[in-house]
Chain A
Amino acid sequence: MVKIYESSTEVIKDVVSGSTIMIGGFGICGIAENLLRALYNSGSDKLNLITLTAHIDGYGVGKLIDAKRVKSMIASYIGENKEVERQYFNGEIEIDLIPQGTFAERMRAQGVGIPAFYSPVGVGTEVAEGKEVRVINGKEYILEEALGADFAFVKAWKADTKGNLVYRKTAKNFNPVMATAGKITIAEVEEIVPAGELDPNEIDTPGIYVQRLVKGEFFEKKIERLTLKK
């Protein structure tokens, strides 16, 4: 049953040092910026993050990385953050880079109670090292395990008081799957409406996956690469 919190600070109070946290978003599109700000202010460190990217220098996860409070990251692309690359080459941060679709599917597996699955992605590459290989119908596959976390920080557009979530455009990305894979899923939203106001047909994430809900205090919604029609 979802619990609605009054502030981002309060909703992440037990996200202590050493926690493993999934962070929704594609780059900085659709990140729970208020939860990340509160996490930064909380002082928790030695964090283990599961996030598609390292965001950008000085913003989102980038701010935690700058402050050297991230111990490890499971990610897929870190090309936009110079500091994370520097820390990686200096051995200051552990980074496990995995294919983006595998990243998504491992979390999906966690959410649906499948401990592992065979995937064609990464066969014959570094990604396959140490993994079971199995030939099915003449083609090679590798065994990938489900991926869970203590907390999932998701960002949705709207929620109702039952914790049902609706996302907006491509800010959806990894948020729905992370909501299913976190032990405690914390949803930050732009608006909370009374139960009954959202069309049941239009719900992206049903409230059963959401343990905590908070209305974000301030949405900066930075744009990573503003590109205009010429």
Chain B
Amino acid sequence: MPLTKEQLANRVAKEVKSGTYVNLGIGMPSLVANYISPEIDVTFQTENGILGLGGYPTENEVDADLTNASKQTVTTLPGAAIVDSVEAFSMIRGGHIDLTILGGMEVDQYGNIANWKIPGKLVKGMGGAMDLVAGAKRVIVMMQHTSPDGKSKILKNCTLPLTGKSVVSEVFTDFARFVFENGEMILTELAKDITLDELKAKTEASFKISPTLQILE
């Protein structure tokens, strides 16, 4: 069975390690925070200037001057720092962020990602995504494996304008986990009860299969 969004967020949360600085993208990646074990000591950064992001506020705590990069009201944790945009992106571009988790419209077998524009249809802008994929030490993409009409979003070559070229470290979908190593895309985990043939039918990209293939759960 393919994973639900929640199951996928729970799986990706296991990639978040203690002692790291992490930036979560908007949409599906923001769910990951809900599944990180309390023993994990992670610091979340937001590109609008928080290092040490907390949860959402109570009604009394709401402050129009304290939001996250999705423009939602938030709080900060003890030990947080608030910086301006230049400094927030110095952290990102300068290679100080250990991990970013982003959503994707398309990922291809060369580790390219597209997630900001559909020419003629949708133009929302790249925001901080191009900076994050260029600067973070590890780039995880989490996305649906196929479009609602069943077309593969894991491609030989991205068709949409790129967000970054050969920048993806690994991609998690509702069907599988692929890791990019030395220019190759390798299947390392596959959802339970999905056969390799079923996966191949849903995947346009060519990939290798890890000798230690595991269940995505």
- Which chain B residues have a beta carbon within 8 Å of chain A's beta carbons? 46-50, 55-59, 61-74, 82-86, 88-89, 92-93, 112, 116-117, 120, 122-131, 134-135, 161-166
Contacts and interface: CB of A to CB of B under 8 A. Distances in A.
A177 B72 CA distance: 23
Contacts of B92: 101
4 residue pairs, one from A and one from B, having the closest CB atoms: A124-B165, A101-B89, A101-B131, A79-B124
Nearest to B112: A124
A119 B126 CA distance: 16
Contacts, number: 176
Nearest to A177: B86
Contacts of B93: 101, 105, 119-121
Contacts of A168: 65
A122 interface: yes
B56 A123 contact: no
Q: Which of B69, B74, B125 has the most CB of A within 10 A?
A: B125
Contacts of B66: 169-170
A170 B65 contact: yes
Interface residues of A, number: 58
Main secondary structure of the interface of A (DSSP, over half): loop
Contacts of B61: 229
A59 interface: no
A28 B126 contact: no
B134 A26 contact: no
A4 to B, nearest CB: 23
A78 B83 contact: no
Contact of B55 (A30, A120, A229): A229
A176 B88 CA distance: 13
Interface stretch (A36-44, A208-216, A218-226): A218-226
19 contacts: A26-B49, A26-B85, A27-B71, A78-B125, A97-B116, A99-B130, A100-B47, A101-B128, A119-B93, A125-B164, A126-B161, A169-B63, A170-B65, A170-B82, A173-B84, A174-B84, A174-B85, A226-B62, A226-B72
A170 B49 contact: yes
Given A89-B120, A104-B85, 15 more contacts: A27-B67, A29-B71, A77-B125, A78-B125, A120-B134, A121-B130, A123-B165, A124-B165, A125-B130, A125-B162, A169-B82, A170-B46, A170-B49, A225-B72, A228-B56
A229 B56 CA distance: 5
B81 to A, nearest CB: 11
Contact of A75 (B85, B125, B131): B125
B85 A126 contact: no
Interface in A48-89: 52, 75-80, 85, 88-89
B131 to A, nearest CB: 3
A177 B86 CA distance: 7
A198 interface: no
Given A122-B130, A177-B85, A221-B64, A97 B125 contact: yes
Interface in A166-182: 167-177
A77 B135 CA distance: 19
A23 to B, nearest CB: 13
B130 A104 contact: no
B165 A29 contact: no
Contacts of A107: 86
Given A76-B127, A228-B62, A105 B164 contact: no
Given A29-B64, A229-B58, A224 B71 contact: yes
Nearest to A102: B131
A125 to B, nearest CB: 4
Nearest to A85: B123
Q: Which of A80, A99, A230 has the most CB of B within 10 A?
A: A99
Nearest to B125: A77
